[in-house]
């Protein structure tokens, strides 16, 4: 049977393309199809390592999870990871190609068409349905030449397009009509319908505007999706996640430093599932306050983000919390910042060759040219007490993405022993913990997704506060996400014309 496909494009970034792609992947899976997501080019600092040790965008990993299939770099053959305002690291088929400026990449992009075609064909050979996702807007007319991610990709795949508009930000009718107006005649023919996303209120009030919009753009509105608070990693909601805080009245506060080149902020989503935790992101210039756990996240430019912490007055606040005995955790780049020295002899991330770290761990980091990308299984081996007591001997799993190697001094202990790397048995050290047991660093992304590990640390803090231990309401983060994918699919099914969606998928004209 010929592979069926459809493509979701948006009037702008952050209109909900990624989440709706995940929703359709789950819906088609529920309906008995082998389905895969596809985004030819993704620009994001959130990435994931496949079982082969290849790097891809996390948004497509989420969509693959929703589809119930193993994530593959064929689903995201080109990943761009910004390193500065004007440069990014270009990753092709899961491996670093090189760093490029925007101008260099624009000139290089046409050479990626064959890579994109090859990847899409691999999926066509293996799946019944492919749900493609665009990037930004197809009406960026200055980028039309050599486009490989919006209408250019739709043409390569010969895929019908559904256009998504975000009503929550205002101006949804103008953005949908204006986008259609800026498309070429051939491009407009590909757009078979529109979806209005993130609606709050009474749909009846919207209906007169919908009828007028359909008269203008000559294609149907397929559905109006309500604003929904599902706990699924959503690349499009990045700005909202850092801007708004949810205070649940929990007894434990976890603060994460928001740094300019933050990567893999999804490491901390699990805290939102714990009823006694308030998760808060701290920007430069804001007060860290007095959290129970302070986390320095991963970074795509560790040295520049360390300088940022100093310039914004955050370093002294970190040191104050350390003196108070609070738990300070560094993940990947954050782990490197906790050490005494960071060196970049090859200019891998910065033009600065050496910088002093925060000095909270007796470790030194040296950046190298080759990136470490691997899935791992490990065991906590450090002798621990206090806040970290009870996690020794626990099994954890996750993945590593980093350019540097970190060397331990005499005043700290290795945190973990990696027993399995990409399916091969190993005995390698990871991370470090100080002698007092209140500063912890690791290269393992997703370490907090291991619920027993995370819950043990939280319960140690509860005991220090004179509170009883609390059991997590979820046994595993993976099972929790599965329920959320089903909930998302249910919301979309209830608010969209699935008969017309299947008509579009089957190449029919809908009205």
Q: How many Å apart are CA 126 and CA 129, to the nearest integer?
A: 9
| Residue ranges of E strands in 337-466 | 341-343, 354-356, 363-380, 395-408, 412-413, 416-421, 424-430, 432-434, 439-442
The string of pLDDT tens digits covering residues 121-166 is 999 999 999 999 999 999 998 888 889 999 999 999 999 999 999 9
Angle at 48 between CA 304 and CA 351, to 5 degrees: 20
Per the annotation, the verdict on 322 as an active-site residue is: no
Between strands 293-296 and 327-331, the pairing is parallel
C-alpha–C-alpha distance, residues 335 and 358, integer Å: 10
Distance CA(39)–CA(235), nearest Å, equals: 13
Q: How confident is the model at residue 86 (pLDDT cuts 50, 70, 90)?
A: confident
Residues 250-278, mean pLDDT to the nearest whole number: 94
Bridge pairing between strands 262-263 and 277-282: unpaired
Separation CA 261–CA 492 (nearest Å): 33
Residue spans of alpha helices (H) in 191-332: 203-217, 238-243, 302-311, 314-323
Lowest mean pLDDT among 35-39, 120-124, 261-265: 261-265
Beta bridge partners of 418: 378, 428
pLDDT on residue 243: 55
Distance, CA of 34 to CA of 125 (rounded, Å): 11
Residue 437: φ, ψ to 5°:
75, 25
Q: For residue 75, name the pLDDT band (cuts at 50, 70, 90).
A: very high
pLDDT band at 285 (very low <50, low <70, confident <90, very high): confident
User: At residue 242, does pLDDT exceed 60?
Assistant: no
Q: Which of 436, 398, 402 is nearest to 333 (CA)?
A: 402
Average pLDDT over residues 332-352: 94
Query: In the predicted model, is pLDDT for residue 229 greater than 80?
Result: yes
Cα-Cα-Cα-Cα torsion 432, 435, 439, 443, nearest 10 degrees, comes to 0
* pLDDT, greater one: 2 or 252: 252
Q: Can you give the pLDDT at residue 494? A: 97
Q: Give burial (CB, 10 Å; 0-12/13-18/19+) of 209.
A: middle
Buried b vs exposed e over 254-273: b needs ≥16 C-beta within 10 Å?
bbbbbbebbbbbbbbbbbeb
What is the pLDDT of the chain when averaged over all its residues? 93
Higher pLDDT, residue 228 or 234: 228
**Cα 185 from Cα 151, distance rounded (Å):** 12
Helices (H), ranges, 200-267 = 203-217, 238-243
pLDDT of residue 216: 96
- Classify residue 204 by its DSSP letter: H
pLDDT at 393 over 70: yes
Q: Around Cβ 324, how many Cβ atoms within 10 Å?
A: 9
With CA atoms as reference, report the closest residue to 414 among 388, 380, 390, 446: 380
> Does residue 353 contact residue 421 with C-beta atoms inside 8 Å?
no
Question: Is the model's pLDDT at 423 over the cut of 50?
Answer: yes
| Catalytic residue of the set 261, 322, 402, 445 | 445
CA dihedral sign, ordered 438, 442, 445, 451: negative
Distances (CA, A) of 348 to 70, 83, 125, 401: 31, 10, 38, 14
350-360 mean pLDDT:
95
Closest to 11 (Cα-Cα) out of 138, 99, 115? 138
- Average pLDDT score over residue span 38-48: 93
pLDDT at 63 over 50: yes
Q: What is the DSSP secondary structure assignment for residue 325, as one 8-state letter?
A: T
| Distance between CA atoms of residues 101 and 89, nearest Å | 9
Number of CB atoms found within 10 A of residue 484's CB: 18
User: Mind listing the pLDDT tens digit for each residue in 99-115?
Assistant: 999 889 988 988 999 99
Beta-sheet pairing, 416-421 with 363-380: antiparallel
Please give the Cα distance from 144 to 106 (Å, whole number).
11
Which one of the listed residues 322, 332, 402, 412 is annotated catalytic? Answer: 332
Q: What is the pLDDT of residues 300-333, one digit of tens each?
A: 999 999 999 999 999 999 999 999 999 999 999 9
State how far the Cα of 146 lies from the Cα of 286, in Å rounded to an integer: 43
- Please name the residue that has the structure tokens 């770099």: 73
Give the residue among 19, 21, 124, 37 at the shortest CA–CA distance from 75: 37
Phi/psi for 48 (5° steps) reads -140, 155
* Strand partners for 92: 78, 95
CA-CA-CA-CA torsion sign (77, 39, 26, 298):
positive
Q: Is the pLDDT of residue 344 over 70?
A: yes
Q: Is 135 helix (H, G, I), strand (E, B) or coil?
A: coil
Distance between CA atoms of 477 and 462, rounded to whole angstroms? 21
- Asked whether residue 245 carries a pLDDT value surpassing 60, the answer given is no
> Of the candidates 53, 50, 81, which has an alpha carbon nearest to the alpha carbon of residue 64?
50
Let me know if 511 is a catalytic residue: no
Q: Assess whether pLDDT exceeds 60 at residue 237.
A: no
Summary count for the chain: helices (H), strands (E): 15, 27
CA atoms 241, 195, 130, 89: torsion sign: negative
Which structural domains are found in the chain, ordered by start? 4-232+481-505 (3.40.50.300), 252-466 (3.40.50.880)
> Is the pLDDT confidence value at 244 over 50?
no
């Amino acid at each position: 049977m010929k592979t069926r496909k459809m493509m979701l494009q948006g009037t702008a970034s952050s209109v909900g393309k990624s989440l709706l792609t995940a929703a359709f992947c789950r819906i088609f899976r529920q309906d008995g199809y082998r389905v895969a997501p596809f985004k030819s080019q993704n620009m994001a600092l959130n990435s994931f390592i496949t079982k082969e040790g290849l790097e891809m965008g996390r948004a497509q990993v989420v969509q693959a999870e929703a589809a119930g299939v193993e994530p593959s770099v064929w689903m995201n053959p080109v990943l761009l990871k910004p390193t500065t305002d004007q440069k990014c690291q270009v990753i092709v088929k899961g491996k670093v190609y090189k760093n490029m400026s925007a101008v260099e990449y624009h000139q290089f992009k046409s050479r990626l068409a064959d890579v994109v075609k090859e990847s899409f064909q691999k999926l066509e050979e293996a799946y019944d349905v492919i749900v493609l996702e665009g990037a930004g807007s197809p009406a960026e007319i200055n980028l039309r030449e050599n486009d490989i991610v919006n209408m250019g990709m739709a043409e390569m795949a010969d895929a019908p397009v559904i256009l998504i508009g975000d009503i929550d930000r205002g101006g949804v009718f103008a953005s949908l009509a204006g986008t259609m107006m800026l498309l070429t005649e051939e491009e407009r023919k590909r757009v078979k319908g529109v979806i209005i996303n993130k609606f709050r209120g009474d749909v009846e009030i919207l209906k007169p505007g919908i009828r007028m919009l359909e008269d203008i753009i000559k294609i149907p509105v397929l559905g109006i999706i309500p604003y929904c608070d599902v706990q699924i990693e959503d690349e499009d909601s990045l700005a909202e996640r850092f801007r708004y805080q949810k205070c649940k009245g929990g007894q434990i506060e976890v603060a994460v430093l928001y740094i300019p080149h933050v990567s893999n902020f999804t490491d901390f989503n699990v805290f939102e599932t714990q009823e006694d935790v308030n998760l808060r992101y701290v920007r430069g210039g804001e007060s860290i306050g007095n959290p129970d756990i302070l986390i320095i996240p991963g970074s795509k430019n560790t040295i520049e983000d360390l300088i940022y912490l100093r310039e914004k007055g955050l370093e002294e606040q970190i040191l104050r919390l350390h003196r108070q005995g609070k738990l300070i955790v560094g993940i990947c780049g954050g782990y490197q910042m906790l050490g005494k020295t960071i060196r970049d002899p090859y200019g891998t991330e910065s033009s600065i060759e050496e910088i002093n770290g925060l000095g909270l761990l007796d470790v030194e980091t040296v950046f190298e040219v080759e990136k470490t990308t691997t899935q791992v299984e490990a065991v906590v081996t450090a002798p621990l007490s206090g806040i970290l007591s009870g996690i020794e001997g626990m099994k954890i799993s996750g993945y590593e993405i980093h350019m540097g190697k970190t060397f331990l001094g005499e005043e700290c202990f290795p945190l973990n022993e990696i027993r399995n790397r990409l399916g091969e048995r190993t005995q390698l050290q990871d991370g470090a913990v100080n002698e007092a047991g209140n500063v912890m660093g690791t290269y393992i992304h997703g370490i907090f997704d291991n619920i027993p590990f995370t819950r043990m640390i939280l319960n140690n803090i509860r005991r220090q506060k004179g509170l009883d231990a609390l059991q997590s309401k979820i046994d595993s983060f993976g099972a929790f996400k599965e329920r959320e994918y089903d909930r998302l699919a249910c919301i979309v099914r209830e608010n969209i014309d699935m008969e017309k969606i299947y008509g579009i998928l089957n190449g029919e004209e809908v009205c």
